[in-house]
Amino acid sequence: MLSSMALVGQRLTPSAALATIPIALAPVATMLMTVPAARLMQRRGRRLGFALGAGLGVFGGVMGCIAVYQENFLLLCLGGLGIGAVNGFATYYRFAAGEVVAEDFRSRAISLVMAGGVIAAVTGSNLAIWSREWFPDDLFAGSFLGIAIVHSLVLLVLSFVRFPALSVEEKRAGGRSLAQIARQSDFALAVIGAVAAWGVMSLLMNATPLAMKRHLHSFADTAWVIQWHVLGMFVPSFFTGHLISRWGEHRIMFAGICLLGGSIAVNLSGIERYHYAIGLALLGVGWNFLFVGATALLATTYRPEEKARVQSCNDFLIFGLLVLTTFSAAPLEGMLGWDRLNHLVAPFLAVVAVVMGVLWLRAGRSA
């Protein structure tokens, strides 16, 4: 989708300003779907929820394919909504992984799910290239058909998966109120960490191609830098869970904060290709440590009957900020420039670090 949809949007709309609307609708759909997806899975189980999400992916891919064939921009927008809605369900795979293993393996299970991003980074882009000419007269129609096929394979895999039956506690909508749960220091620490990880990463990542173009780097240079960023995001997942098991969620989260700070420092040190590559790689690793650590910590703060409420609140906040940073990255980079944008992020990150430090100390005293 990332490789194809903006190019198709540019071709199907007479206004260049509208070209990215279909792809921008994807995170909006993800945000709006997080709460109903969690509630459905609380009542009917993970398997049905994940299958419904994959079904939406098939629908979105088919709509995108038809949109290219009929040259219909509105159908492309509908496809973007369908494909984006998938993540409203798929974001819970990481929690599901932690629920079906022994407690001492939970952080590693969550980490391994995130490690799937390495496979996705390679296969997704190659699938887009390989499938774009399946229909020579309708370029990129095959790419959207490829998305539909991938989600059909997910449905096939899910037909063989057996999740543990929901307990009575999980099915009922009881437990503490969200306000009571939020009074836990670890809950606040986990949510703030996850939201900050996504906000800083999304803002700087989306601004990077624009900054590199401003500083006269080629598209090939930009693609190379983004590749290192994606590797930084997902390769550490193969060992982040082990680090959490050894050092604890809090220490790994603060290591993530330090790495994000290191990314900003490198970004401000120069505008050569290697500055961008090192800065974006550190940004990816910092995001991984902070987000995976926050996810593992969040899983310790709720009871079975409270998980839908807590998980959906956490992910709604994450994707809400993701939408905001996705839409604001280009205007902010255009108004401020690369250096000032990093100067803007630095104090925000410092405040987050201080707040997380206070919450960590409070959590230690109450333990």
pLDDT digits (tens, 9 = 90+) for 8-28: 877 887 776 676 678 778 888
Q: Domain of 91? A: 1-158
> Does residue 167 lie in a domain region?
no
> Does residue 166 lie in a domain region?
no
Same domain, 147 and 224: no
pLDDT cut 90: percent of the chain above it:
44
> Does residue 164 lie in a domain region?
no
Q: What is the 3-state secondary structure (H, E, C) of 145-178?
A: HHHHHHHHHHHHHHCCCCCCCCCHHHHCCCCCCH
Same domain, 99 and 248: no
Same domain, 303 and 213: yes
Same domain, 191 and 289: yes
> Does residue 104 lie in a domain region?
yes
What's the whole-model pTM score? 0.80
pLDDT at 169: 63
Closest CA to 250 of 361, 102, 101: 361
Count of domains forming the chain? 2
Q: Looking at residue 270, which CATH number applies to its domain?
A: 1.20.1250.20
Same domain, 11 and 114: yes
pLDDT cut 70: percent of the chain above it:
95
Residues 6+ apart with CB under 8 A from 282: 232, 259, 260, 262, 263, 266
pLDDT digits (tens, 9 = 90+) for 156-190: 999 998 888 777 666 666 678 888 998 999 999 99
pLDDT at 259: 97
Same domain, 80 and 41: yes
166 or 143: which leads in pLDDT: 143
Burial class (CB in 10 A: 0-12, 13-18, 19+), 113: buried
Whether 290 contacts 257, CB under 8 Å = yes
**What count of other Cβ atoms lies within 10 Å of the Cβ of residue 137?**
7
Give the Å distances, CA to CA, from 312 to 34, 42, 48, 180, 318: 6, 11, 17, 16, 10
> Does residue 163 lie in a domain region?
no
Same domain, 279 and 366: yes
Rounded Cα distance, 93 and 272, in Å = 38
Q: What Rg, from alpha-carbon coordinates, does the chain have?
A: 21
Same domain, 154 and 50: yes
Give me the mean pLDDT over the 143-157 stretch. Answer: 93
For residue 35, pLDDT beyond 60: yes
Same domain, 36 and 65: yes
Give me the mean pLDDT over the 269-286 stretch. Answer: 94
pLDDT at 131: 81
Same domain, 205 and 329: yes
